[in-house]
Amino acid sequence: MNINETMSFGKTILQSRRKKRLSQRDVADLIGVDHTYLSKLENDRVEPSPKIIDSLAKHLELNTEELTYLAGKMTQQDSQAFEELIKANPQEMNALFRRVRENPSLDSLVKAREEQIAKLQKENQILKIKLLEATSELKRLEKIIAKTVDTSLIEISQLREVIKGRDLTNWRHLYGIADELGVTISNLVYHLQELGWIYIPKGSKQIFLEKIALNDDVLC
């Protein structure tokens, strides 16, 4: 039997009992309660236990889950699923329950969920913007650091001595020079570019010798 959504728990079992031509005493005996208690159930004056709901559904040929919902209760599986939902979404539950308490309907539940999704999307967009800003600031700081690298640690005379006979356009040679001088490769490259001995195009890893290096005794 399909239960009409507009019917209450009591009216549903009353209608089903009458359809089967059973008296209150007949049904009360079947489910193991006093007929006065069944009368209260049919008038929605008491809340049935899960055991009573199961027994009524069985003897009146009703859907147990639908009858449970009409009684304003959840099945055990529903309770477990709901607990898992709360555990998985603890931060969303406050707004969700507040909305449902104000207006206990499915439309209210859907609207609360939509509002929560919109809020999360907005927060996600803000985080993306902050991430882009942080990335931009990091790049700016890297440029500042690159320009303010302490090149005083590298003396020209020492540098000239170390690079003699080496190819400044070869990264392997540059790493060897940096190791001998005890400086970082970025420090060395920056210093060589500041001296005008090498040139590395933006976005490229290829190294070119500047004219000053070619005409000087740098490579001698």
pLDDT in tens, the chain (220 residues): 555 456 899 999 999 999 999 999 999 999 999 999 999 999 999 999 999 999 999 999 999 999 998 998 888 887 888 788 777 777 777 777 776 677 766 676 677 777 777 877 888 888 888 888 888 888 887 776 655 555 455 677 888 888 888 899 999 999 999 998 888 898 888 888 888 888 899 888 899 987 655 455 555 5
Q: Which domains does the chain have, with CATH numbers?
A: 9-80 (1.10.260.40), 93-145 (no CATH), 151-215 (1.10.10)
In this structure, what token pair is assigned to residue 83?
């607990």
* CA separation, residue 194 to residues 5, 151, 210 (Å): 82, 10, 11
Q: Write down the residue that tokens 């440029």 correspond to.
A: 143
Q: Work out the burial of residue 31: count CB atoms within 10 Å of its CB; fewer than 13 is exposed, 13-18 middle, 19 or more buried.
A: buried
Please count the other Cβ atoms lying within 10 Å of the Cβ belonging to residue 56. 26
Looking at residue 209, the DSSP 8-state letter turns out to be E
Q: Where are the alpha helices (DSSP H) in the chain?
A: 9-19, 24-31, 35-42, 50-60, 64-70, 76-88, 90-102, 106-147, 156-163, 171-181, 185-194, 211-215
- Here the tokens at position 6 are 């507009």
- Which run of H or of E encompasses 208? strand 208-209
Mean pLDDT of the chain: 82
Q: Are 8 and 70 in contact (CB under 8 A)?
A: yes
Q: pTM higher than 0.75, yes or no?
A: no
C-alpha 97/C-alpha 116 separation (Å) is: 12
Separation between Cα atoms, residue 136 and residue 131, nearest integer Å:
9
d(CA 98, CA 138): 42
CA 114 vs. chain centroid, Å, equals 16
Amino acid at 198: I
In this structure, what token pair is assigned to residue 151? 């090149």
